[in-house]
Amino acid sequence: MVKSAFSLLEVVFAIVIMGVTMVTLPVMMSSNDKGINTTLVQEAIFGASAQLNQILSYRWDENSIDKLVDPKEDGLAEVIQTSYNDCDTNISSPTYGLRPGHIMQKRHRKCLLNFTITPTLASSFGPDAGDLDDIDDVSTSAKSLFINYSADADGYKQDFQSSVSISYDTMGGLVGKNDAKKVTVTVKDAAGNIITKLTSYTLNIGEVDMDDRIF
């Protein structure tokens, strides 16, 4: 009769392979977890960048449009008279409604012709009347960056917190007191460590009517 069996050499090889597997498996799993965490951090940074770009697309100030002239508020944002008082208020002047640096042509940037309107004060930053149409409205406290966060789900495993702060800034004295707003988006992980902080400035320069521009 012929009996099949493992040789001692085969048994030794099997033990060696099992030992190598048991040693390397935790390392491989740890490396995979680090890769996932790195990807999630990158997602958080991209999310913060997208959030900042969205904020910068909003109107510069709640008062950038004269609501009496444009009740639907569907027009262009214009320059608001600031503490510098540099908009030309002389109605008989060829530069009426303009400020130094403006182009004397139609469809370009200009001052809000209601010169009594002033920018929203810093103490008023935050949502007003439930709308979200200007940069001030998005000043928020920390909230989850990813809406599908769940520690038990297959989605995002970390609860990244994003906060937005808005403040007036003179950019080192380059602009007037109320002519620039500083927008900062900060993302922190669940432990409170800062993952990224993105900052940009937006200026009181009005908008150009690109749809009607003639080139």
Q: What is the pLDDT of residues 38-82, one digit of tens each?
A: 777 888 888 889 889 988 888 888 888 888 888 888 888 899 888
Ramachandran area for residue 206 (φ above 0: left; ψ -120 to 50: alpha; else beta)? left
Q: What is the pLDDT of residues 147-189, one digit of tens each?
A: 765 555 555 567 888 889 888 888 888 887 788 899 999 998 8
Please state, in angstroms and rounded to a whole number, the distance separating the CA atoms of residues 4 and 11: 14
Specify the residue for token string 């997208």.
50
Beta-carbon count within 10 A of 139 CB:
20
What pLDDT is recorded for position 21?
66
Please state, in angstroms and rounded to a whole number, the distance separating the CA atoms of residues 70 and 193: 45
What pLDDT is recorded for position 24?
64
201 SS3 class: strand
pTM for this structure? 0.73
Q: What is the mean pLDDT of the chain?
A: 79
Among 105, 113, 103, 54, smallest CA distance to 79 is for: 113
Cβ proximity of 138 and 132 under 8 Å: yes
Specify the residue for token string 């491989």.
28
Question: Mean pLDDT throughout 103-109?
Answer: 84
Beta-carbon count within 10 A of 176 CB:
17
* Residue 200 confidence class, pLDDT cut points 50, 70, 90: very high
Q: Which DSSP symbol is given to 80?
A: P
Ramachandran area for residue 142 (φ above 0: left; ψ -120 to 50: alpha; else beta)? beta
Please state, in angstroms and rounded to a whole number, the distance separating the CA atoms of residues 148 and 156: 7
| Ordered alpha helix ranges (H), 57-85 | none
Specify the residue for token string 């003639």.
214
